[in-house]
Structure 1
Amino acid sequence: MLKKFYKIIIVPYTLTLLYLMFLGMGRFQYEDNQITVEPILSTLEFIHNTIGWKEIVVIVLGNILMFIPFGFLGWIFPQLKDLKRLLYVFVSSIVIVEALQYFTRMGIFEVDDIILNTFGVYLGWLLCRLVEKKFSRLVL
């Protein structure tokens, strides 16, 4: 039951997420291509320079939480039940998306986004294993 729901919802979810990454949340086209490649430091700097906790939660936790559903991709593609393969496919995909943000100037290529998004996928993968173990009759 959960797998059927997931299969129905993941495509519109992905499209909505892509919309947010390129056009939503007040996005605009930068005059120059932007890139941030210092892992963790740019996120710490963002937290330090941001006055409101709401912005910190939305950006930092959002970059994790919004990608948790991709940890369940093994329900659609059985080869992605393997964590290494899932992370390889995901990191490759998110690097392409970040590169598209860079080349279209509709966002910033940020290494921290890749790290946070990948952590979200990992948490999703752990959650998927837990759901399968605890609620096996609901998953099918």
Structure 2
Amino acid sequence: MLLFLLYIIGLVYFMFFAEEYGRMPGERTYSYNLVLFQEIKRFIKYRDVLGPMAVLTNLVGNVVGFMPFGFILPIIHRGSRQFLWITLLTFQLSLLIEVTQLIFKVGSFDVDDLLLNTIGGMLGYLVFWICNKIRRKYIG
């Protein structure tokens, strides 16, 4: 439970307070993208201009950042050991973060982030499911 709480605190810090990712207080404007795959295509198309770190941070970071959610939640709450349930909860957490970013003008609301974050939660659950199958096979 403590590990999950630390993960959520770290996620909130990264999403809202990490100044090195362009979230400076003086630059607060409403920023949003409602076109699916628009930002993903932009990051891939301009990867040479943006640099590999920006591409990795946006595309891979959004997936990897939500994998612990999909992995840890079924461990601490037995009732959430269904793929669809984890997918919905991951989407809801991501939507909450994106809407909060929009309301407080910190970062931007991006449907691509919703997709990538949800995929991350789903992959985290897949890792949990595989580990659980192996555990059951050898431990019982």
The alpha-carbon deviation at position 69 of structure 1 amounts to 0.8
1:73-123 per-residue CA deviation (whole Å, 9 max, x = no partner) reads: 111122211111222222122111100000101110000101001000000
Q: 2:16 pairs with 19, 22, 25, which one?
A: 22
Question: C-alpha separation between the residues in 1 aligned to 2:18 and 2:59?
Answer: 16
Give structure 1 stretches of 5+ with no counterpart: 1-6
Question: C-alpha separation between the residues in 1 aligned to 2:123 and 2:28?
Answer: 35
Corresponding residue pairs, total: 134
- Indicate the larger mover: 115-124 or 54-63: 54-63
RMSD: 2.0
Amino acid across the alignment from 2:99: A
1:3 corresponds in structure 2 to none
Give structure 2 stretches of 5+ with no counterpart: none
Question: C-alpha separation between the residues in 2 aligned to 1:42 and 1:134?
Answer: 38
Preserved contact between residue 63 and residue 117 of structure 2 (Cα < 8 Å): yes
Larger RCO, structures 1/2 (Cα 8 Å, 6+ apart): 1
Superposed, 1:75-114 pairs within 5 Å as 75-114=75-114
1:32-75 per-residue CA deviation (whole Å, 9 max, x = no partner) reads: 21111111121111222232122211221011011111112111
Preserved contact between residue 131 and residue 139 of structure 1 (Cα < 8 Å): no
| TM-score, normalization by structure 2 | 0.86
Identical residues among aligned pairs (%): 25
